[in-house]
Amino acid sequence: MSFFAELKRRNVFRVGIAYVVAAWLLLQLTEVLTELLELSTEVGKLVIVLLVIGFVPVLIFAWAFELTPEGLKREHEVDRTQSITRQTGRKLDFTIIGMLALVAAYFIWESRFMHRPVQQSAAVAPTEAPAEPTADRPQSATPAPRQRSIAVLPFANRSRLEDDQFFTDGIHDDLLTQLAKINDIKVVSRTSVMKYKGTEKTIPEIARELSVATILEGGIQRAGQRIRINAQLIDVAGDKHLWAETFDREMTVENIFEIQSEITRQIVQAVRGELTEEERLNLARLPTTNLEAYEAYLRALSLTSAPDYSQDIYINAELWARRAVELDPAFAQAWSMLVKIHGQAVWIGYDTSPERFRLAAEALEKARRLGPELPETIAAAGDYAYRIEEDFSRALTLYRQALRAMPGDAGIAFSVAVAQRRTRDLEGALASFERALEIDPNFSRVPPTILETLVFMDAVDRAGPLADEWVLRFPDSQDIRVWRAQILLQSGQVDQARAQWRDIPPSRSGAYWGLTVQLPFFERDYAAARATWERPEIAALAENRGNLGWREVYRGWAHRLAGEPAAAEAELRRAVEIITSAPAPNRLAAAYEAMTLALAHALLGQEGPAIAAAERGLQQIPRADNEMAGTFNAQSHAQVLAILGRRDEALALIEQFLETPYRFSRWLLFLDPRWDFFRDDPRFNDLIRPEDAP
């Protein structure tokens, strides 16, 4: 018998066919579950690898073994006269037919429910006649799943006035926000497409760089009380227009949103298929009927999208968001934005008055009443839980709920990651940050936050290459440059960190503040350490709640290290007075300020008050509730114990916090003169010495 005939007799061909069909079905199931359960795309890749690896062993198994009435046996052990390979082959035939029926059912379902033909609009751009179906330009097309992607290029401002440019950008932003609420379509984010503003690159070049199958381009012109918007949707592969139209309407919010909704409908029909009923309702809903309120909201939205995390952006955005709700008290999205802004005021600490807490609660109540189902409202509830209630678990749940409702919103994906940072799942948080970058590869708020997280983990070996890459990719982000300098400092390269710092413009961001007040200590320039606090941007943050007393403790430490005990004592007593005379407005500020107070008492040699203050700080934010802040406070507690001479307890904590998710940096402990008092203890030196230290 020939080898080919033997393969056929042993059902090897049938087993191979069955394996391939089953593998294809498994891959389709994996794709569906990956989207449904929001799993990593690596899961699909792993399944493919396993299936490929398994193919040859399955064929070998089919060749070497035979199914008998007594079970599996080696083929050479089976009497040919007793072989039932023919019956087994028939069973395999039926199995293959059944699986092929499932494949056919899948294709029918996919064509009926997952795709819709592109509907050619009857209206086209004025310069073009309606296109007739031809061989090159079919009347409809059914894009494959991989083609469900679009880039909406920045609209051209036809009127050339500066205010009109802002309005044009705002319409573009709002259209992207609508598209972010549509499932199963990859929408390239605003920051990624804005670099093509005024570009001379061709559509195919842009599509190739952004990895999209379709592109929308257009322009806007305001003339008195009228607005003219033209848009065209381009299928890149065929280099043809799927849809084009010019809208010339009276300048009203209703007309603007009707135009946006029509453009969105055409995009969805061309890229994915018909809108769901829920999506139709979402598109039909007007956020406001007041044009001035809408423009004010767009200005606030633009400000909060700034690359760096600074209190100034929220202070400026608040003026416009307040204007929006004054003009239209029923503007739900504007109220949601105010929840975020009020929450940031409390969180950063520049306004923690009872009035601010009241305004945050009022804004959330109005957003919930006016638009309880809106993703923006759900995300605002997450902001309130995070920054006002300090309930990070609830915040994470709400952010995830909002992301399911608006899967294309990188800002909400970023909020998910930020909330995860408060847990011990730091690798999960980093993965969520990466997801935000996948949605929006140019979202400049994400990279510095990833770097910050890695620095707090003392993972500078991972952070350094990323910082070198991102500082070139995001030239407008000062925070990336700050964290790059911090990485150098945390690697023992003090001079290089200072050189980097000199090139960073001053700002009122927390990252800049932290690096600026640290550097002089590591350079052992104590006069500069005191003078740093006179810089306007540093002095401003010193007044924020949570930071109270830090300026005086830093100055006191600098005087103490410079051999000026009287001046040190005066500063430290001033710190005690400031903190004890101003009750903290929330748990986070109370925890930080209690630990600052504990350090002041410890440096004054007041053991009882120092220990009591440290314990209050630890009780305010247990690590189980807030891994990030809880760990930082516990690390300060270790220093308090060391200053007070309770070295065994301090060493035990230091050893523990060299291994926690957020950990002590050995290089910072090694270089910081504020730990010099401990360097006469060989146990401390052995414990904290970096591997590459001299």
Contacts for 447 with CB less than 8 Å, ≥ 6 apart: 437, 466, 470, 473, 474, 477, 480
pLDDT in tens, 77-112: 766 666 677 777 777 777 878 878 877 776 665 544
pLDDT at residue 459, as a whole number: 95
Whether the predicted pLDDT of 139 surpasses 70: no
pLDDT band with cut points at 50, 70 and 90 for residue 132: very low
User: The pTM is what?
Assistant: 0.71
Could you give the CA distance from residue 654 to residue 666 in angstroms, rounded to a whole number? 10
pLDDT band with cut points at 50, 70 and 90 for residue 113: very low
pLDDT at residue 62, as a whole number: 73
Give mean pLDDT, residues 442-457.
93
Give mean pLDDT, residues 505-517.
93
Could you give the CA distance from residue 643 to residue 641 in angstroms, rounded to a whole number? 6
pLDDT band with cut points at 50, 70 and 90 for residue 676: very high
In a domain, 223, yes or no: yes
> Within this chain, do residues 78 and 173 fall inside the same structural domain, yes or no?
no
pLDDT band with cut points at 50, 70 and 90 for residue 661: very high
pLDDT in tens, 454-466: 999 999 999 999 9
pLDDT in tens, 337-387: 999 999 999 999 999 999 999 999 999 999 999 999 999 999 999 999 999
> Within this chain, do residues 95 and 149 fall inside the same structural domain, yes or no?
no
> Within this chain, do residues 155 and 198 fall inside the same structural domain, yes or no?
yes
pLDDT at residue 79, as a whole number: 65
In a domain, 596, yes or no: yes
Whether the predicted pLDDT of 220 surpasses 80: yes
> Within this chain, do residues 181 and 52 fall inside the same structural domain, yes or no?
no
3-state class of 417 per DSSP? helix
In a domain, 404, yes or no: no
pLDDT in tens, 377-418: 999 999 999 999 999 999 999 999 999 988 888 899 999 999
CATH of the domain at 690: 1.25.40
Average model confidence (pLDDT) across the chain: 85
> Within this chain, do residues 93 and 190 fall inside the same structural domain, yes or no?
no
In a domain, 467, yes or no: no
3-state class of 503 per DSSP? coil
pLDDT at residue 439, as a whole number: 81
The angle subtended at Cα 178 by Cα 177 and Cα 179, nearest 5°, is 90
pLDDT at residue 37, as a whole number: 57
pLDDT in tens, 241-256: 788 888 888 888 788 8
pLDDT at residue 126, as a whole number: 34
Domain boundary among 254, 284, 314: 284
Contacts for 427 with CB less than 8 Å, ≥ 6 apart: none
Structural domain boundaries enclosing 82: 3-114
Strand pairing class (186-187; 214-223): unpaired
CATH of the domain at 183: 3.40.50.10070
Could you give the CA distance from residue 124 to residue 121 in angstroms, rounded to a whole number? 7
Could you give the CA distance from residue 597 to residue 200 in angstroms, rounded to a whole number? 59
Contacts for 284 with CB less than 8 Å, ≥ 6 apart: 261
Question: How many residues can be counted in the chain?
Answer: 694
pLDDT at residue 250, as a whole number: 83
Q: Which two tokens stand for residue 597?
A: 């107070």
Whether the predicted pLDDT of 492 surpasses 60: yes
Q: Which two tokens stand for residue 494?
A: 């003090």
> Within this chain, do residues 157 and 96 fall inside the same structural domain, yes or no?
no
Could you give the CA distance from residue 459 to residue 462 in angstroms, rounded to a whole number? 6
> Within this chain, do residues 152 and 264 fall inside the same structural domain, yes or no?
yes
Give mean pLDDT, residues 154-169.
73
In a domain, 48, yes or no: yes
Domain boundary among 227, 254, 284: 284
What percentage of residues in the chain have a pLDDT greater than 70?
87
Of 150, 191, 149, the closest CA to residue 173 belongs to 191
Q: Which of 71-75, 245-249, 679-683 is most confident?
A: 679-683
Contacts for 506 with CB less than 8 Å, ≥ 6 apart: 512, 535, 536, 537
Which amino acid is present at 375? P
pLDDT at residue 143, as a whole number: 35
Strand pairing class (214-223; 226-235): antiparallel
Could you give the CA distance from residue 475 to residue 461 in angstroms, rounded to a whole number? 22
Could you give the CA distance from residue 14 to residue 88 in angstroms, rounded to a whole number? 10
Domain boundary among 114, 135, 165: 114
Q: Is the distance from CB of 304 to CB of 313 less than 8 angstroms?
A: yes
Q: Which two tokens stand for residue 163?
A: 């205010």
> Within this chain, do residues 61 and 192 fall inside the same structural domain, yes or no?
no
> Within this chain, do residues 674 and 563 fall inside the same structural domain, yes or no?
yes
Lowest mean pLDDT among 172-186, 427-441, 623-637: 172-186
DSSP string, 113-182: II-------S---TTSPPPPP-SSS-S-----GGG-EEEEPPPEESS--HHHHHHHHHHHHHHHHHHHTS
Give me the phi and psi of 465, to 5 degrees please: -60, -35
Residue 38: which region, alpha, beta or left (left: phi > 0; alpha: psi -120 to 50)? left
> Measuring CA to CA, how many Å separate 312 from each of 39, 41, 350?
37, 38, 10
> Within this chain, do residues 157 and 40 fall inside the same structural domain, yes or no?
no
What percentage of residues in the chain have a pLDDT greater than 90?
50
Of 368, 312, 321, 324, the closest CA to residue 340 belongs to 321
In a domain, 622, yes or no: yes
Lowest mean pLDDT among 194-198, 661-665, 685-689: 194-198
> Within this chain, do residues 551 and 689 fall inside the same structural domain, yes or no?
yes
Whether the predicted pLDDT of 240 surpasses 80: no
In a domain, 418, yes or no: no
pLDDT band with cut points at 50, 70 and 90 for residue 191: low
In a domain, 294, yes or no: no
3-state class of 242 per DSSP? strand
Q: Is the distance from CB of 88 to CB of 72 less than 8 angstroms?
A: no
Count how many domains the chain has: 3
pLDDT band with cut points at 50, 70 and 90 for residue 150: confident
Give me the phi and psi of 679, to 5 degrees please: -80, -5
> Within this chain, do residues 151 and 109 fall inside the same structural domain, yes or no?
no
DSSP H helical ranges for 353-509? 354-370, 375-387, 392-405, 410-420, 426-439, 446-456, 460-473, 478-489, 494-502
Q: Which of 161-165, 196-200, 608-612 is most confident?
A: 608-612
